[in-house]
Amino acid sequence: MAATTGATRFGVRAAVHDYSGVVVLREVDFELRGGEIHALLGENGSGKSTLIKVLTGAVRPTGGTLLLDGEPIHLATPQQAQAAGVAVVHQNYNLFPDLSVEKTLLASAADVPRRVTGLGAVDHRAWRRRVRELLHRLGVDLDPRALVGTLGPAERKFVEIARAMVTEPRFLVLDEPTASLEPAAADRVLTLMRTLRTHGVGLAFVSHRLDEVAATADRVTVLRDGQRVAERPSAGLTTAEMARLMVGDRPQESLRPAVPTVRPEVLLRVHEVRVSDDGGAFDLDVHVGEILAVTGLVGSGAARFVAMVGGDVPLRGRAEIDGRPVPLRTARDAQAQGIGFIPEDRKARGLVLEHSCAVNISLASLGQVATAGRVSRRRLLRRAEDFRTRLDIRMPSLDAPASTLSGGNQQKVLVAKWLASGVRLLAVEEPTQGVDIGGRAQIHDLLHEFTAGGGAVVLFSTDVREVLGLADRVAVFRHGGLSRVHPVGDLDQARLTALTAGEEDGPRGHGPSPADGAFPASPAPPSSSIPSARPTLRMESSR
Ligand SMILES: Nc1ncnc2c1ncn2[C@@H]1O[C@H](COP(=O)(O)OP(=O)(O)OP(=O)(O)O)[C@@H](O)[C@H]1O
């Protein structure tokens, strides 16, 4: 790979940046060396994305000098960064599902093989060969002809990384490459990063998963409030020390509430639900005060079930709220039943980015801040201020557009929006994705407060620790159907991982019955509701 030659150091000295006068980077030094993995850590809003944008030519810093092998360079555009050997993989998939892997990569190629005849048309055979070679070098087993839309999340991340590697960069910057990947998929992406390191590529990556930073990074740089507070080898640095460097002395971990909030009454009951054509139908209850986590690999149906509860996908089956049959086919149905839905792709669907933070927080409940049919600005702001304090949402001002918030702070606004709306049940996908360690605790506390007040949560999270720390029960989905529901006390990290992967098929010893009877007042669904068919796992989008 060409990356083994050429520049071996790239970075920025004394980077300063402000947005309309608000300083978000303060004289930050950052250096990336060839053949290393360098993690960039910091709380939400500490400046990581801005620093990445500076390094990759997407933002021109107010001050500071970019350096390639010690020599100043100017990167006014991402194209110039690419020409200098610096590539970037953004956090969200920017792929077209209907394009094949090879065509996706073709769009990024600087020199495309052309047929001698045919007026310079692309030589697709030669290109496929090159793509195969590239994927082979990356250690990625992917068919160049496969459509991106048929790939699982890890494979799609591979495609994004391969697309960045088409230009053979010497430095690769990755923004949260493992966000929303379940542990096994995240491991595959980290393995690919290690492969690139052996080829001499310098990799910088942002992650809020400190255990993977400890396991993968050679060095870490920590930002706090736009300042570099540490730069050191990661060897010997514990995750607790990393967290302390990020947040200072503030408390970090949320605790399970001392008094369990689950009540015997059933809030939502679903009957004869199918999340796929292949999986069997099942019944499931969600109790007042309960956090029910729903988990499973891609294609297991877990994410789809949460989307059904949230009205994002029509429920195939019947639903009852408080024992009353209700329709649950659309977002409007869900809202009418007091159900809120927090989707994973918050930017595209959860927030109106051009509206202010204050408006977004009250978006699902404008009636509550209106007087005589008119929104009261005073009440709108008072409410937004309350959530800003409770969730420590960093925003330039309550009137600032949501687009000006960092990713983690946007997520907090979304959680605030639904908590403010007075819903009784929240269907949540990845509630703390992209949220830093302190913010996670605040969101967890608010979810507990919500359930203590009589609400219930159906949670989909790929973060095993979050599932174990938050949930009262865990519904494990496999092969497009519900496999079993476990009280969280019966699970630990290893067992839950094994259950989702299908390595362990049932309870050990005297474990729970299939859909367990953790709540005596609520009879367990009949065993016939447990799917008997075991179709093969399909690697596809959960929707
Ligand atoms: N376009 C913008 N206009 C105004 N302010 C902005 C803009 N983009 C980011 N900011 C502000 O700059 C600060 C740093 O944001 P940045 O996105 O770099 O943080 P981050 O460390 O990447 O956070 P996260 O972990 O949440 O992604 C934040 O206070 C944010 O509100």
pLDDT tens track for 123-150 = 888 899 999 999 998 888 889 999 998 9
φ/ψ bin of 402: left (φ > 0), alpha (ψ from -120 to 50), beta (otherwise): alpha
Confidence of residue 43 (pLDDT cuts 50, 70, 90): confident
Helices 183-198 and 493-501 pack at an angle, to 10 degrees, of: 90
End-to-end Cα spacing for the chain: 37
Hey, which residues does 457 pair with through a beta bridge?
Answer: 291, 426
| Gyration radius (Cα) of the chain, Å | 24
> Which pairs count as long-range contacts for 260-264, CB under 8 Å and 24+ apart, including other chains?
260/289, 260/472, 261/289, 261/290, 261/448, 261/451, 261/452, 262/287, 262/288, 262/289, 262/290, 262/451, 262/472, 262/519, 263/287, 263/288, 263/289, 263/290, 263/454, 264/519, 264/520, 264/521, 264/522
* pLDDT(510) > 70: no
pLDDT of res. 511: 33
CA distance readout (Å), 422 to 3, 53, 128, 493: 54, 38, 54, 33
Cβ-contact 480, 275 below 8 angstroms: yes
Q: Is the pLDDT of residue 252 over 80?
A: no
- Residue 223 pairs with which residues in a beta bridge? 42, 228
Q: How far apart are CA 357 and CA 267, in angstroms?
A: 31
Give distance in angstroms: CA of 405 to centre of ligand 1: 5
What atom of ligand 1 comes closest to residue 223's alpha carbon?
21
The vertex-315 CA angle with 312 and 266, nearest 5°, equals: 105
Residue (of 310, 304, 306, 276) closest to 531 by Cα position? 276
What distance in angstroms lies between residue 396's CA and the mean position of ligand 1's atoms? 10
Which pLDDT band, with edges at 50, 70 and 90, does 463 fall under?
Answer: confident
Phi, psi of 528 (to 5 degrees): -65, -15
**Pair 501, 184: CB distance under 8 Å:** yes
CB 480, CB 535: distance < 8 Å: yes
Query: Ligand 1, from 26, 91, 392, 405: best to mutate by most atoms within 8 Å of Cβ?
Result: 405
Angle 79-81-87 from CA coordinates, rounded to 5°:
95
d(CA 306, CA 475): 11
Residue of the CA atom closest to atom 19 of ligand 1: 45
* Residue (of 283, 289, 292, 265) closest to 522 by Cα position: 265
Q: Is 116's pLDDT higher than 80?
A: no
CB distance 47 to ligand 1 below 6 Å: yes
Find out whether the beta carbon of 409 lies less than 6 Å from any atom of ligand 1.
yes
Rounded to the nearest angstrom, the distance between the alpha carbon of 400 and the centre of ligand 1 is 12
Paired residues of 33 in beta bridges: 9
Q: Provide the pLDDT confidence category of residue 364 given band limits of 50, 70 and 90.
A: confident
- What would the two tokens of residue 267 be? 């809030």
pLDDT of 461 over the 90 cut? no
Measured distance CA(462)–CA(464) in Å, rounded: 6
Q: Would the CB of 500 count as within 6 Å of ligand 1?
A: no
358 pLDDT band (50/70/90 cuts)?
Answer: very high
Nearest CA-CA partner of 268 in 294, 236, 242, 247:
294
Q: Is the CB of 405 under 6 A from ligand 1?
A: yes
- For 10-22, what is each residue's pLDDT tens digit? 999 999 999 888 8
Look at residue 209 in the predicted model and tell me its pLDDT: 85
Residue 433: pLDDT band (50, 70, 90) is confident
Q: What is the DSSP string of 118-154?
A: TTT-B-HHHHHHHHHHHHHHHT----TTSBGGGS-HH
* Mean pLDDT lowest among 113-122, 330-339, 392-401, 441-450: 113-122
d(CA 524, CA 533): 20
Cβ neighbours of 538 (radius 10 Å): 16
- Please give the CATH superfamily to which domain 2-247 belongs: P-loop containing nucleotide triphosphate hydrolases (3.40.50.300)
| CATH 3.30.450.20 for domain 265-338+423-543 | no
Which one, of 331, 296, 301, lies nearest residue 461 by Cα?
296
Check pocket membership of 407 for ligand 1, CB cut-off 6 A. Answer: yes
Q: What pLDDT is recorded for position 442?
A: 81
Give the SS3 label for residue 204: strand
Q: Which atom of ligand 1 is nearest to the CA of 46?
A: 21
Please name the residue whose Cα sits nearest to atom 16 of ligand 1: 47
Q: How far is the CA of 353 from the centre of ligand 1 (A)?
A: 14
CATH 3.40.50.300 domain residues, the chain: 2-247, 265-338+423-543
251 Cβ contact partners less than 8 Å away, ≥ 6 residues apart: 438, 441
Closest CA to 224 of 239, 252, 205, 245: 245
Q: How far apart are CA 92 and CA 343, in angstroms?
A: 14
CA 42 to ligand 1: nearest atom: 21
Q: How far is the CA of 45 from the centre of ligand 1 (A)?
A: 5
The 3-state secondary structure of 44-99 reads: CCCCHHHHHHHHCCCCCCCEEEEEECCEEECCCCHHHHHHCCEEEECCCCCCCCCC
What pLDDT does residue 258 have? Answer: 56
Nearest-CA residue for atom 4 of ligand 1: 404
| pLDDT above 50: residue 271 | yes
Residue type, 205: F
Residue 67 CB neighbours (<10 A): 18
Whether the pLDDT of residue 119 is over 80: the answer is no
* Any atom of ligand 1 within 6 Å of the Cβ of 48: yes
Residue 170: pLDDT over 60: yes
Return the DSSP state at 490: G
Q: How high is the pLDDT of residue 260? A: 74
